[in-house]
Amino acid sequence: MRQAMTSVAHGELIRASAWRAAVQRPAPPGGKVAFIGANNPETARMVRDVQVATGVEFIGYFDNDPDKKGRTFCGLPVFGGFDDLLGCDRTAFGLVNLITRDTKTRHETTRFFAENGFAAADFIHPSINLDGVTLGRGVYLQEGVIVQGGVVLGDNVCVNSGATISHETSLGTSCFVAPGATLAGLVTLEPGVLIGAGASVMPRLSLGTGTTVGAGAVITKDTTERSIMVGVPAVETGKTPDDEAFLPLFLDKM
């Protein structure tokens, strides 16, 4: 039994070492990370694995729900809301944005804290093979995501469990891919695209900025900006509000 446990631990160290070599991500300020949003218990499942792989310390949450302040969520403290966060030392920790309600809210929250001097940190499960993948800042990839070679993931991208991002596909700033979705090869998502749970996008297609794809939909043609796409094959049923501007997130890219 002890030999088996030692073998497992050795295997974990090898995988963690390979993950660090492939990712080569800069450490967050102070080697610590705080989360924005205390809602998804999947966070706790990932924290231990990411800490082992990276050595980063996860210190707690900031959430605007006043009932959560001073309590714990999945074993970590909730320090308070965004006003409390603005009073913190910017050099003490980086921020991981866990907000996934919609791409506009996620984008605007990350941009607000970037403009106020906070560094965006990644939250990427170490089981994901990132060899040959290009990553922006503040990327959130849950366990079980498949990312193939030549993929480009832009700033503030979030991909949920069981999703597949196929070869040479590009996701723009603040794109969100829900559980079980599949993007075939050479797909381009412009900034702010939301792919619903179990949806599929066929190869070599381009989805315009702010496009929303409903759960289970199958995209078989390019979309224009702000399209709402549902069905199999998917058809456009409307447009998202035209005030959803996905501006640059980080001051050095503006």
Rounded CA Rg of the chain = 18
Calculate the CA dihedral of residues 27, 30, 33, 34 and round it to 10 degrees. Answer: -150
Please tell me what DSSP assigns to residue 137.
S
Q: CB atoms < 10 A from the CB of 56, how many?
A: 22
CATH architecture of 128-239: 3 Solenoid (2.160)
Which pLDDT does position 245 carry in this prediction? 66
Which pLDDT does position 234 carry in this prediction? 97
Domain range list for the chain: 2-122, 128-239
Mean pLDDT of 110-139: 94
pLDDT digit string, tens, across residues 12-61: 544 444 444 445 677 899 899 999 999 888 888 899 899 888 899 999 99
**Do residues 236 and 229 make contact, with C-beta atoms less than 8 angstroms apart?**
yes
Please report, as a single letter, which amino acid is at residue 176: F
Query: Residue 164 has which token pair?
Result: 């597949």
Sequence-ordered list of residues with C-beta below 8 angstroms from that of 17, at least 6 positions apart, any chain: none
Confidence band, pLDDT 50/70/90 cuts, at residue 238: very high
From the centroid of its chain, how far is CA 161? Answer: 11
Sequence-ordered list of residues with C-beta below 8 angstroms from that of 247, at least 6 positions apart, any chain: 111, 254
Catalytic-residue membership of 167: yes
Please tell me what DSSP assigns to residue 64.
S
Active-site residue among 10, 107, 125, 167?
A: 167
Do 2-122 and 128-239 share a fold? no
CATH architecture of 2-122: 3-Layer(aba) Sandwich (3.40)
Please report, as a single letter, which amino acid is at residue 204: R
Which pLDDT does position 16 carry in this prediction? 47
pLDDT digit string, tens, across residues 176-229: 999 999 999 999 999 999 999 999 999 999 999 999 999 999 999 999 999 999
**Do residues 214 and 236 make contact, with C-beta atoms less than 8 angstroms apart?**
no
